[in-house]
Amino acid sequence: MAKLGMKKHVFNRTTGRNYKDEYQSYQGKPEQIANRAKRNAARSEMVKAGRAHPHDGMDVDHKKSMKSGGANGSGNLRVISKEKNRGFPRNSKNKPTGAA
């Protein structure tokens, strides 16, 4: 238990990450909260449309990233595996290395 005046750290020994500091420095910013809400809304839309299912091990991907001006319209969304969505190296154009 932390004493008064001492900062309590939420540190994961396995990953070496301090999740409390990560949230305060990045994930808790209003802009990032809004982005997360948009991603959650996209997932919800795909579930309602029957293209994704809860706990299906799939990610809802934006064909054109929101960072690059993409939107949550159904034409910009697709359901792909987590491995494919998260497993490619990003370059300056936010595309898989070697893609045309």
3-state helix, strand, coil in the chain (%, to 5): 40, 15, 45
> How would you write 51-62 as a 3-class SS string?
CCCCCCCEEEEE
Would you say the pTM of this structure is higher than 0.85? no
- Mean pLDDT (the chain) is 84
Per-residue model confidence as pLDDT tens digits over 16-53: 889 999 999 989 999 999 999 999 999 999 999 999 99
DSSP 13-24: TTTTEEHHHHII
**Contact of 65 with 94, CB cutoff 8 Å:** yes
